[in-house]
Amino acid sequence: MPELPEVETIARRLRPSFIGRKLLDTWTNWPRMLSPGPVAMRRALSGRRLIELTRRGKLLVWRFEPEVLLLVHLRMSGHPTECPSGTPPAKHVHFVLRFEGGRELHLDDARKFARVRLADDLAAATADLGIEPLSSEFTVDWLYEAMRRRARRLKPALLDQSLIAGLGNIYTDESLHRAGLHPLRSTASLRRPEAARLHQAIRQALHEGIRRNGASIDWVYPGGEMQDHFLVYGRAGERCGVCGTLIRRLVVGQRGTHVCPRCQRPPRRG
């Protein structure tokens, strides 16, 4: 699933082609992905000009004027591509935005998990999302207090989108390794210096992911190079670049997880 760096990369890549252009029409062959349905969405968007393309968590946020928002959640396999007008939708393209100036946005989604919805207030529409980890509000103090507020394993806590928006399996594993923290550690056991390390690690991992245009693995955004610089994610059986220990794969909260057993000491039992 595309995470914060991949979605940010996609937004930055699409902005120059679509900002300032008027939307002419929409198309879908999979109405279930749209809320409201295709007719209502076409009526709401046709003739409006795109004035902003941003991100909130893992959502792409298209802002049109007069004020209306189009929120696109790419889920597992969604991938938006710019195409010339009149391009026939490919096999797995299920939603198209047709703009003036000969440009179209094709949403390719082989697994049909992506969702597209309208909103008129971003704060209300994303009230279920937590803090942005690259925002000024995301401080060491905030992270320390948030982690200790409720006892659970570190990795599931970081994956909780209602707590921190945008982290997924990749950047959680990478952040925990950078911080030297085991994913099975209890959040209640986190000391403030460890929270400071984790805070720095999260920001570093996300900034590097954005700088490298995200990761290109499985269904994640193609064109990035972050996958060539992973410290632990997807590297089970390989040597840790820090200490040389073999990286292990385990399951935490039903999610495949990659750790260095030396750099990330497991919590004591008992």
Domains of the chain: 4-125 (3.20.190.10), 140-259 (1.10.8.50)
Question: Is 22 an annotated catalytic residue?
Answer: no
pLDDT at residue 104 in the model: 99
Per-residue H/E/C for the chain: CCCHHHHHHHHHHHHHHHCCCEEEEEEECCHHHEECCHHHHHHHHCCCEEEEEEEECCEEEEEEECCEEEEEECCCCEEEEEEECCCCCCCCEEEEEEECCCEEEEEEECCCCCEEEEECCHHHHCCCCCECCCCCCCCHHHHHHHHHHCCCEHHHHHHCCCCECCCCHHHHHHHHHHHCCCCCCEHHHCCHHHHHHHHHHHHHHHHHHHHCCCCCCCCCCCCCCHHHHCCCCCCCCCECCCCCCECEEEEECCEEEEECCCCCCCCCCC
In the structure, what pLDDT confidence band is assigned to residue 221 with cuts at 50, 70 and 90? low
Question: Is 2 an annotated catalytic residue?
Answer: yes
Q: Is the pLDDT of residue 218 over 90?
A: no
Question: Is 112 an annotated catalytic residue?
Answer: no
From 55, 56, 58, 155, the catalytic residue: 58
Q: Is the pTM of this model over 0.85?
A: yes
From 12, 48, 117, 255, the catalytic residue: 255
Question: Is 255 an annotated catalytic residue?
Answer: yes
From 3, 6, 104, 174, the catalytic residue: 3
pLDDT in tens, 120-135: 999 999 999 999 999 9
From 2, 5, 80, 183, the catalytic residue: 2
